[in-house]
Amino acid sequence: MIKKLWPFIARQYDVGIWLGAIRDLFSRATFYVSFINFVLIVPTAYNTTLKFYIQQYVPWMSFWIFASICVLLTLLAMTFEQKLVLASSVRWQNRMRAKHYSPEYEIMKIMMKKIGRIEERLGLGEDK
């Protein structure tokens, strides 16, 4: 059943560059908005909700320790992204560029053919 539906589920449509441009700009702006949210939400959450529970179960934890833990968790998430997710994301983007015939990919294919011809002329083919 999935094999029959997969071509319809996985189909992609070319809507031009406008949708990708808007999404990319929004994603880039979200970084700044998220930083502002983080700076505002951490103290608000601590003072309105978490302070009572933290003082009840961990009385030695001040706001600054709580804020430091939040920053540490953010740094751990960034490390996870850098070490595991980023490489996979780049590979996925490269696959999509190759699939959708980006100009860079087409130029690279032409250059590889030319390099192959030059290597043939110079007798620098693959060692067997």
Which pLDDT value is given to residue 125?
67
pLDDT tens per residue across all 128 residues of the chain: 777 877 777 777 777 878 888 988 999 899 899 999 999 999 999 999 999 999 899 999 999 999 999 999 999 999 999 898 888 888 888 887 777 777 877 888 899 999 999 998 898 866 54
Domain ranges of the chain: 14-61
pTM listed for this prediction: 0.58
Instruction: Count Cα neighbours of 115 within 13 Å in the Cβ-side half-sphere.
Output: 7
